[in-house]
């Protein structure tokens, strides 16, 4: 599966992967200030809980309920895997579409990815998958929602972008 590392902006330059030690201190200070919603966690449990709190509020594209209310996401769907040698957290998200032929499973995966990428401020690698055996075309959808180019192309579509924004919008 293709997935990608979150890019971090440092002084106007974009770098992939892990910054040098002196740059890491500057980044951590910036990250804590981001929207007073810092998710730089001291433990995997805190990170897992923070991620789940973000996922549970995503709205279903065709129903008024959230993904949590529809049991599409659940507390055990977030898994923090062993960090890479460079110290990058690997986050695995598994979701369960409501029906095996759900036509909006790809859109739900896109919403999950966009919301997490916008709100997580630590270095991470994000892998999103449909629960094994829960969808008739799970392999194809898994490939789509973990492909950097497909995600970028999807978010360039104004109608699709508007739908994603509506689904991930926080309630006031």
The domain segmentation of the chain, as residue ranges, is 40-166
Measured at the CA of 84, the angle between CA 83 and CA 85, to 5 degrees, comes to 120
What is the pLDDT at residue 82? 86
User: By percentage, how much of the chain surpasses pLDDT 90?
Assistant: 60
Q: What angle in degrees, to the nearest 10, is found between the helix axes of 105-119 and 44-55?
A: 130
Predicted TM-score (pTM) of the model is: 0.74
75-90: average pLDDT: 89
pLDDT, tens only, 134-160: 999 999 999 999 999 999 999 999 999
- Helix, strand, coil proportions of the chain in percent (round to 5)? 45, 15, 40
Instruction: Give, in order, the Cα–Cα distances in Å from 28 to each of 25, 32, 154.
Output: 5, 6, 31
Position 32 pLDDT exceeds 80: no
Domain at 40-166, CATH class: alpha beta
CA distance 51 to 45: 10
């Amino acid at each position: 599966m293709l997935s990608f590392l979150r890019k971090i902006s440092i002084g106007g330059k974009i770098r992939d992967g892990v910054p040098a030690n002196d740059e890491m201190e500057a980044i951590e200070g910036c990250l804590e200030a981001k929207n007073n919603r810092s998710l730089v966690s001291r433990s995997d449990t805190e990170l897992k809980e923070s991620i789940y709190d973000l996922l549970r509020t995503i709205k279903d594209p065709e129903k008024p309920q959230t993904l949590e209310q529809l049991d599409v996401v659940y507390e055990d769907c977030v898994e923090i895997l062993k960090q890479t040698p460079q110290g990058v957290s690997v986050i695995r998200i598994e979701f369960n579409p409501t029906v095996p032929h759900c036509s909006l499973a790809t859109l739900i995966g896109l919403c999950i990815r966009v919301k997490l990428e916008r709100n997580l401020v630590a270095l991470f690698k994000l892998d999103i998958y449909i629960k094994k055996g829960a969808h008739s075309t799970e392999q194809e959808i898994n490939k789509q929602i973990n492909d950097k180019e497909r995600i970028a192309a999807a978010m360039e579509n104004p109608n699709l972008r508007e739908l994603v924004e509506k689904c991930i919008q926080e309630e006031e």
